[in-house]
Structure 1
Amino acid sequence: MTVFDFHGPGLTEEQWRHISELAGTLSTEQALWLSGYFAGLDHRKRELSPSTDVRPHDGRVHELATGSLETRTITILFGSETGNSADVASALQESVGREGLEAVVADMADYKPRQLRSESDLLIITSTHGEGEPPATAMDFFEFLESARAPHLDDLRYAVLALGDSTYDQYCEAGKRLDRRLTELGAIRLVERVDCDVDYEDSASEWIGAVTQELKRSRDRTSTGHHAPDIALQPRITKRIVDQRHPFRASVIDNIVLSGRGSTKETRHIEVSIEGSGLKFEPGDALGVIPSNDPSLVSALLDALGLSSDEEVSIGDRTVGLGQALTDEYEITVGSTRFVNQWAELTGADDLVALRGKEQVDARSEFLFHNHIIDVVRRYPMPGVRPSAFIAGLRNMRPRLYSVASSLSLVPDEVHLTVGAVRFELNGEPRSGVATGYLADRVAPTGTVPVYIQPNPRFRLPADDVPILMIGAGTGVAPYRAFLQEREARGASGRSWLVFGDRNFHTDFLYQTEWQRWLKDGMLTRMQVAFSRDGRTKSYVQHRLKENAKDIYAWLEEGASLYVCGGRELAPAIHATLIDALKQEGKLSDVSAAEYLGTMQSTGRYQVDVY
């Protein structure tokens, strides 16, 4: 008999059949090579028992909990306010996928923190909101991770990409917090954290490349027993056809004042055409608007600087006139920490120098609240300043997001917005918001506006037969107009209840005739309103909720989905009122009421969109 005519140790009949069939096709050289190959596999398996992975960054040896990289999980976790973190997460998933590695992407809002115990490789992208806070949808994840309940994570490898704005004192602080805490819990850093400024794409792409390369090298070490050669991976973030970098010029259909004559504020209804853009959206999504600065402010700032609009400045690989740069590229209204530091260095002004440093956060914020950039330049002039030195202290122009107030199903190829114009006086001069002033004063019918769609998956309608309870104040009513238009177009059967508040009944009852029509035809089941300045005592939406606590509780018990939209201060006031209603009508304790709402939030029945 030949050498192949016997069963090896532990081989099944099927394994033996495959080996016999293969052996009959091999040449002598191929058989010799194959014997060496299997000998190498045996050596590698013995070497990896127990399996180890030597860390390239800190020298620690990390015991792979599952024995080999092939059985390890890769989870990409993102926390996002505007969608940038979600975009980077998708790009990272594509990058590791091209290397044959499977990764799962999850929003921190949907992620169960106790799953951390079973994770192998955790790749995190998070933005920072305000002064060092995580995105609102990621608060639960941060609270768990930073609490005593968080588990030891000695078997976890991780990487963090932090998105932020360097003009804020707590730059990328949310990402830094995660990085520190994961290290404290024993996790091992896969690659160094990268902090990204507003122009995040290049830094994010480099981080994606580093993470992908490290995961690939780890896999190759496991499968071949040696390090794979370093390969410079620089995947580019694949951008959508229309996004904030490549907006669509939407034609303005209508731009009218929605508030009545005599109102103490100005609210506008704006309609734009997106025909030919290919843009799609759902009720609850936002329209990103990329504004330009007021030409009169640009002119005044150039005069204060003693500079010409024709002087050239470099922006990336482009050279443009200073006037164009100040109009389209930079924020020139509200100052920032970066601007204070830069102007203090250029002018040497004692008042500004005294505002530098972390310990001066409060004083600096107070100063910037009372002084825009032009006020600072006028008060502390710098004759002969170089244009490049001035713009070095400015932030890049940021898009503004507005809830869509229309349904694509009912009004195809259009987007409607409800915009409150920001107008005030500062240092004896009238001022306006960058974007609201742009939309109210300089965007006329037949003009165009650069726009893109920003999805908001955390603010979505339920099934057509599910009741919805919509709570909104001021322009926060916008998405509810889209909700009812969508339900009208779909012939939805679910009940709907709107609780709306604003200043005055006669001037600020936004979309009054539309709500009345929907009430008449039954699309809107019931409506309560609160107008804070009509009576001797102020009345807000939370007062209407308190008055209707019994019915609120009944709707929630019947499975209604609850929505809150408006200014950031609205959400906690509504939440507290709901807690009281649950305690009063459901006889729940503080803890049980909080758990009730927490369950609604985790299941998508309680959704909040604040600005």
Structure 2
Amino acid sequence: MVIGLTGAILAFREQILDALNPGVRNVAVQSAPVLTPQQFMLAAQQVKPHERVTSIILYDTPGSSARIGLAPAPGERKGETIYLNPYTGALLPELAYEGFFEWTEQLHRFLLLPRDPGKMVAGVLAFCLMGLALTGIYLRWPRRVWDWRTWLTFDVRMKGRSFLWGLHSVVGTWVMVVFMVFTLSGVYWAFDPIRDMADGWMGTLRPPRDAGATKPKGAKPPKAEPADLTQSWATFQQTAPNWQMAFLRLPERASAPLQILWVAKDAPHVRARSSMSINLQSGALLKNELYADKPLGARFQSTIYPLHLGTYFGVVGQLIVFIAALALPGFGITGWMLYLNRRKQKRIARAERAQFAASVPAGAAHDDPVLMAYASQTGQAERLALQSAAALQKAGVAVHVQSLEKLTPPQLGQYRRALFVASSFGEGEPPDSARRFSRLLHAAKAELQHMQYAVLALGDRNYVQFCGFGRTLDQRLAFMGAQPLHPIIEVDNGDAGALTRWGHALRGLMEGETADITLSAAADDSDYASWRLDGRTLLNPGSVGFPLYEVTLGGEIGAGWRPGALVDIWPGHYGPDVAPRRYSLASVPADGSLQLIVRQVRNEEGLGLASGWLTDQAALGDEVRVRLIANPSFDACAAEAPALYIGNGSGIAGLRSHLRARVLDGARRNWLVFGERQREHDAICAQEIEGWRAQGFLPELDLVYSRDVTGGGYVQDCLRDRADTVRAWVNDGAIIYVCGSLQGMAGGVDDALADILGRAQLEQLAEEGRYRRDVY
């Protein structure tokens, strides 16, 4: 940040100094002729009689003062510079504020440390900036690499963390090239071995700094007799009539030649210097090396400093360098704010959990707690269980809340009263987190005659086995002798009437008069955020199946989401009779947007309510009400673990979010088995998948097309064909993810894996969280 700020100050150093010192380096233009170098040298000797003139810098620009360099005092590296009127030779005022800029330059180049250690520190920081810039580009690498808008624009209407990330990443991309120039040139100047190596490549290797030094340190060289520059200057003007700047280096001995470095008016940059050697006594030209005739390496070396300052491209280049340097402190600020935002989000506890953790009212009984157990796939059952527990606890009833994932039949037998909120998964199966408990309960021989229970079963009547797991649980508990407190209550898609009946059942456990209990499976309206429809792309043109679209939503990313997460979306003009629809997320927070892969559904009544609105009826820019939903049963595994991803159709959405996260984490042990209809029309996300393959992130890849003339088959068939590899990956600790249609694919994959691994091992993998499914 310090180097960036000082670099911005130094970007327009010359222009600022001229503005602060009118009449010093530039004077009013006169009709009189400009003095010659010989006249300037004599004028300097008059005003500084005890000093030796070492250099004269002249500009062909009218009104430009002559800059006279004097020999340094003993022990000093740099001598004084004085300015003379170009028409009279009069001494001009000392350049004010130059000391401030010299101090700023020392801070910029050496951080005010001694020269050699300061150079090394600055060089290390240049390497660090290079690492930050390159890793920043890697972290924001977009899926659409050739879309310039993805790289160089972001929605300024975003707020909070999304705005900060957009500003941080997009501005960083804008200044990336300039930062590379900063870092490479900084490293070049900071480390002598690197500079010598680079100079060797360019053919400009110079002798060591102290080579040929014979003068005692700190000794002032003997003063030479004044040389006559008249003939030498005439030779120069004849040889270089188009000169713009001339830098005359006066020799210490009159017998030595005069060295002149000069820049032509048509030079490509200010450091494009030609050189000339002239005999001081005769004015004869000894050497004339034009810039255009220099080797390519030497010409390239001369551009390093102008590129670093931006002067290579004139005032526009200086302005770009100024903005880029000033952005460095900005990146430090936005980066720190993003870090603080991440810390803040980690401290936010779930609202229901915080509510339930509130203090228990005085006088509550603790010797006979009620067990509130839940089996949840996407969090709805957990939400209702926590609401129910909070209502009981508020009435003075002690409650223990526990997921069936960790409950065992012996632990269940310790309670006298147990309430179950149970979701079903797929065609009436238990959620993955409850499979172990279901298996243990069916194998248990314990008697539960002492226990009373009630079951709230959650389901969807669109599935054949409506509330299948809840019904199975109710039947098993009754078979083991438990007494129902209330007949099983079945809830279809959050039906409010069924939840009211559950509230009445809860009131039966409370003593005395109690208020009505209000439960809701739906999220509060405050849980929904307003996003907008930013993009819609058809992924399978010409397919025999329903159209499949990638839908992009823009909005505030906030705390982000985990791979495998879900979203609830209200379709268009939502009302009390319209329920939100749930989709798997196909993107990760680093993409900067919510991306869905939506199959357009058609039936006798026309387009599907939500899919039709998202893929056809909504206009770009329309508001979309969105709620992010954690999906812990389909969450990402550790980066070091291998991962096998299996799916079909729109199930690529949930798999793609996982694979994108794995690529960002550098996890390479990934295997994708994906099925669709025809390769010609249904090669969904093919370019991205092939890119992962080429980069080494998909060492195993099987794409199966069921209706191709050559080949065909389904993903479950592919798994059976590669059974040995499946076993090897599982034995190596692989996590299996399945995402896609319940009918056909998910059941077929489950049967295939059971045949390959054995049903017992597959059940064990599910209980260990190594067999994770998101099917619909």
TM-score range, shorter chain: 0.5 to 0.7
What is the rounded CA distance, in whole Å, between the counterparts of 1:166 and 1:261 in structure 2? 33
Using the TM superposition, give the Cα deviation of residue 179 of structure 1 relative to its aligned residue in structure 2, in angstroms. Answer: 4.3
1:602–1:175 distance in 2 versus 1, CA, 3 Å: closer
Instruction: Name the counterpart of 1:535.
Output: 709
Instruction: Name the counterpart of 2:248.
Output: none
Instruction: Name the counterpart of 1:476.
Output: 651
Q: Choose which of 600, 612, 624 in structure 2 pairs with 1:421.
A: 600
Instruction: Name the counterpart of 2:740.
Output: 566
Q: Choose which of 588, 598, 602 in structure 1 pairs with 2:763.
A: 598
What is the rounded CA distance, in whole Å, between the counterparts of 2:368 and 2:375 in structure 1? 23
Indicate yes or no: 2:438 matched with 1:155: no
1:600–1:198 distance in 2 versus 1, CA, 3 Å: closer
Q: Choose which of 412, 415, 418 in structure 2 pairs with 1:119.
A: 415
Indicate yes or no: 2:261 matched with 1:96: no
Using the TM superposition, give the Cα deviation of residue 516 of structure 1 relative to its aligned residue in structure 2, in angstroms. Answer: 1.6
What is the rounded CA distance, in whole Å, between the counterparts of 2:500 and 2:668 in structure 1? 45
Letter in 1 for 2:719: L
Matches within 5 A, 1:56-455: 70-80=366-376, 83-99=379-395, 101-108=397-404, 111-113=407-409, 115-127=411-423, 133=428, 135-137=430-432, 147=442, 149=444, 151-163=446-458, 175=470, 178-179=473-474, 181-190=476-485, 193-196=488-491, 198=493, 200-201=495-496, 204=499, 207-208=502-503, 211=506, 213-217=507-511, 229-232=512-515, 234=517, 241-242=524-525, 247-261=528-542, 264-275=545-556, 278=558, 280-292=560-572, 328-329=574-575, 396-408=577-589, 410-412=590-592, 414-423=593-602, 426=604, 431-455=606-630
Q: Which moved more, 1:573-582 or 1:494-503?
A: 573-582
Q: Rg bigger for which structure?
A: 2
Q: Choose which of 720, 726, 741 in structure 2 pairs with 1:552.
A: 726
Instruction: Name the counterpart of 1:355.
Output: none
CA contact (8 A) 1:469 1:563 kept: yes
Q: How many residue pairs get matched?
A: 411
1:513–1:109 distance in 2 versus 1, CA, 3 Å: same
1:581–1:180 distance in 2 versus 1, CA, 3 Å: closer
Q: Which moved more, 1:182-191 or 1:193-202?
A: 193-202
Using the TM superposition, give the Cα deviation of residue 247 of structure 1 relative to its aligned residue in structure 2, in angstroms. Answer: 3.5
Task: Tell which has more relative contact order, 1 or 2 (C-alpha 8 A, sep 6+).
Answer: 1
Using the TM superposition, give the Cα deviation of residue 188 of structure 1 relative to its aligned residue in structure 2, in angstroms. Answer: 3.2
**Deviation by residue 1:414-457 (Cα, 9 ceiling, x = unmatched):** 21101111236x5xxx8332222221111232112222123221
What is the rounded CA distance, in whole Å, between the counterparts of 2:492 and 2:747 in structure 1? 30
| RMSD, aligned CA | 3.4
Letter in 2 for 1:471: I
1:201–1:262 distance in 2 versus 1, CA, 3 Å: closer
Q: Choose which of 613, 622, 637 in structure 2 pairs with 1:462.
A: 637
Instruction: Name the counterpart of 1:609.
Output: 774
Instruction: Name the counterpart of 1:3.
Output: none
Instruction: Name the counterpart of 1:500.
Output: 674
Instruction: Name the counterpart of 2:753.
Output: 578
**Deviation by residue 1:274-299 (Cα, 9 ceiling, x = unmatched):** 317x574211111112225xxxxxxx
CA contact (8 A) 1:163 1:200 kept: no
CA contact (8 A) 2:675 2:703 kept: yes
Q: Which segments of 5 or more consecutive residues in structure 2 lack a partner in the other structure? A: 1-363
Using the TM superposition, give the Cα deviation of residue 467 of structure 1 relative to its aligned residue in structure 2, in angstroms. Answer: 0.7
Using the TM superposition, give the Cα deviation of residue 251 of structure 1 relative to its aligned residue in structure 2, in angstroms. Answer: 0.2
Letter in 2 for 1:468: A
Letter in 2 for 1:153: L
CA contact (8 A) 2:420 2:455 kept: yes
Using the TM superposition, give the Cα deviation of residue 70 of structure 1 relative to its aligned residue in structure 2, in angstroms. Answer: 2.8
What is the rounded CA distance, in whole Å, between the counterparts of 1:130 and 1:283 in structure 2? 21
What is the rounded CA distance, in whole Å, between the counterparts of 1:476 and 1:158 in structure 2? 37
1:282–1:154 distance in 2 versus 1, CA, 3 Å: same
What is the rounded CA distance, in whole Å, between the counterparts of 1:594 and 1:195 in structure 2? 30
Letter in 2 for 1:156: M
What is the rounded CA distance, in whole Å, between the counterparts of 2:623 and 2:696 in structure 1? 37
**Deviation by residue 1:160-206 (Cα, 9 ceiling, x = unmatched):** 33445689998767655544553443323445654545454575366
Instruction: Name the counterpart of 1:298.
Output: none
- Partner secondary structure for residue 71 of structure 1: strand
Instruction: Name the counterpart of 2:687.
Output: 513
Q: Which segments of 5 or more consecutive residues in structure 1 lack a partner in the other structure? A: 1-67, 218-228, 293-326, 331-395, 583-592
CA contact (8 A) 1:279 1:453 kept: no
- Partner secondary structure for residue 74 of structure 1: strand
Letter in 1 for 2:550: H
**Deviation by residue 1:197-228 (Cα, 9 ceiling, x = unmatched):** 545457536634752x55553xxxxxxxxxxx
Instruction: Name the counterpart of 1:523.
Output: 697
- Partner secondary structure for residue 384 of structure 2: helix
